[in-house]
A and B are shown apart, each in its own frame.
Chain A
Amino acid sequence: MKILLIEDETELQKSIEQYLEMEGNIVEVSPDFHHAQQKIAIYDYDCILIDITLPNGSGLDLLKEIKLKKSKAGIIIISAKNSLDDKVNGLDLGADDYLPKPFHLSELNSRIKALIRRKSFDGNVEISINEIKILPNERRVLVHNQDVILTSKEYDLLLYFISNKNRVVSKSALAEHLWGDNSDRLDNFDFIYNHVKNLRKKLLEKKCEDYLTTIYGIGYNFKTQE
């Protein structure tokens, strides 16, 4: 997958680039407005990540240019402003998603994957990892072609784990994913533990291999390879 990252903060660039490249993505980086303009004009991307505040211009203007080009790229706005207006404007201009900074890399990754899934084949994709099959449109999970009945939170967790497979996903990232902006409210970590425990139990019941590894104190790793 080819991804264009338009972001002026070097260290954040590096982090995102590194994380996304682990998945075998090709990540190109634009540190400012004009550079990004050229990139957008010349190349096609599967996904473009745009920061709104850029040197020499606004990410929202870039968004307009991408839309003029009738590019099929999925667009995610990553902004430090976290203002409702920016979000509404961005989505109105044709952005597919809006992720306020600071975010977890795993969250960004899962958003990109969800976006690509939605974009390709009109979202009619199924995700297959060995014996696990997920039908995102129906929110259905099959193991060895047998239905696994999951709660909504367990389903979200599974999808998140699979999007970030072979990565360590922190508990705080999970909490943020499940409870959104409100995750900082109450102590959610115990609930995560319970949800993960139930999810694992349900998967094992259907003779699914135990992919989930607990990383002490930090979180979980959904390991599909040794």
Chain B
Amino acid sequence: MKLLAKTSLYYLIFSIPILILSGYICFHIITREVRQSNNELLVNRKELIENYLKENDTISLRIITKSSEATIKKIAKTNAKEISIPIFSDTLIYDKKENELAENRLLSSVFEVGNTNYSIKIWRSTLEYNELFRGIFTSLVILLILLFVTYLIINFWISKTVWKPFYQTVSNLKKFRASDNVIPRLASTSVTEFDELNLSLNVMMQKMIVDFNSQKKFTENASHEIQTPLAVIKSKIDLLIQSENLKENEMKLIVAIDYACSKIIRLNKTFLLLTKIENRQFNTTEKVSFENTVNNSLVFFEEHIQANKIEIIKNIENDFCVLMNADLCLVLVNNLLQNAIRHNINSGNIEIFIEKNKITISNLGVNNPIDNQLFERFHKNSTSQESLGLGLSIVKEIVEVSGLVFYYKFTNGKHCFILTKDNINELK
């Protein structure tokens, strides 16, 4: 969820109870005020009527009673207590105009003129509370929407302007690679927090580059330094096997040493290759044809293909040409084909499909997809003794430095390794 959406949502969630509370308060204040003013008005009228009664102004009284908002009745003089205490009450009175019962405020009081007691009832229609409630609710909803919209607009504007340095930093970070040895320039901003972020990111990236380089240097040095002692061991083995009278047991020992030694040599060579690729030391590029490279590689693996009775199905629609290092391209194809041969089933097949911008090498093999960890170093899932578990990580490195895209999928029992120039078409 985007920051904008998230804050807006929280804003909405928190503004709802506030608006409900303020609506409630509003409703109460309004009803109280209305009641008070009605009461005052009724009291005024009562006093007016009382005056008319005192003056015996029958005309005015008639006018008032005609307007049907008051009744004046003579009543028997009973209880003096009732006199002079006006009683307010809410009542429903039938409204002829609207043809319904309407809420009214009623004042009943008893007034004494001479010996006669008059019961006065004055009423006045008040606000209808449910209508008031509806009114307040509607206006609050409108307010909420208005607030939300303004908030969105403000937020949008903020994220466009205030957050701009942040997004710039993020896009710079996305491009950052320790192996490039370049720290992206994070421009200073007018916001302290962002400046702090940029500063600590800069420190972090610097450290990453230093660490990366020292690690790289270490691998490189270690691999180089190991070469010479390995050369000594290898040459001593060569001399040792020249000895006459070697017993079978000794020979077995020598073979085992030779095997282990060869394995270290291979590992070391592979590390050196990986380091070189990572160091971008293969920087001469030329237009390389995948069709030719595949053909060369197939010649190299001819014997292995025959021995495993693997059928090669080549389907070349269009040659796939890439601007890259030719040696690396051969290493890449060799690794993929070697993989396809090594993990194939007996009498299986390998399909090589070359299109204009794509090459697919698919092979039969174990009947479930390999996991992505295989692209990491030393991850093996076969029992193959010969496998170093570095093949696919070499492929990954080469693909990375050559501007290609590489991915794997498992369809119809086939392991497909796909290389393309761009990933737009396939990564649906």
| A→B interface (CB under 8 Å) | 9, 11-12, 15-16, 18-19, 22, 80-84, 101-106, 167-168, 170, 172-173, 179, 181-182, 184-187, 190-191, 215-219
Contact = CB atoms under 8 A, between A and B. Distances in A.
Contacts of B303: 191
A191 B236 contact: no
Nearest to B268: A102
B304 interface: yes
A103 B251 CA distance: 21
Contact of A9 (B228, B239, B252, B281): B228
Contact of A18 (B239, B251, B386): B239
Given A168-B241, A215-B241, A9 B258 contact: no
Given A191-B307, A216-B248, A186 B386 contact: yes
B233 to A, nearest CB: 8
B231 A105 contact: no
B236 A15 contact: yes
Contacts of A103: 231, 234
B388 to A, nearest CB: 8
Contact of A170 (B238, B248, B281): B238
A12 B229 CA distance: 9
Interface residues of B, number: 40
A15 B234 CA distance: 10
B254 A102 contact: no
Given A80-B228, A191-B303, A218 B241 contact: yes
Contacts of A219: 241
- The main secondary structure of chain B at its interface with chain A is helix
Contacts of B241: 168, 170, 215, 218-219
A172 B281 CA distance: 29
Contact of B300 (A22, A84, A102, A182): A182
Contacts of A84: 281-282, 327
Contacts of B237: 170
B347 to A, nearest CB: 17
A102 B234 contact: yes
B224 interface: yes
A31 to B, nearest CB: 14
21 contacts: A9-B231, A12-B228, A15-B236, A18-B239, A19-B235, A19-B239, A80-B224, A84-B327, A101-B227, A101-B228, A105-B238, A168-B242, A170-B237, A170-B258, A182-B334, A185-B334, A186-B301, A186-B304, A215-B241, A215-B251, A216-B251
B255 A218 contact: yes
Interface string B327-341: 100000010001001
B181 to A, nearest CB: 20
Interface string B393-418: 00000000000000000000000000
Contacts of B338: 185-186
A103 B235 CA distance: 7
A167 B265 CA distance: 23
Contacts of A101: 227-228, 230-231
A103 B304 CA distance: 24
Contacts of A16: 235
Question: Nearest 8 CB-CB pairs, A to B?
Answer: A15-B235, A102-B231, A80-B227, A184-B266, A101-B231, A105-B238, A102-B234, A11-B232
B238 A106 contact: yes
Contacts of B233: 102
Nearest to B244: A168
- Tell which of B231, B237, B272, B341 has the most Cβ of chain A within 10 Å: B231
A105 B237 CA distance: 9
A216 B233 CA distance: 21
Contacts of A82: 227, 269, 272
B342 interface: yes
Contacts of A19: 235, 238-239, 242
A217 B251 contact: yes
B188 interface: no
A179 B301 CA distance: 10
A16 B231 CA distance: 11
Contact of B342 (A9, A182, A186): A186
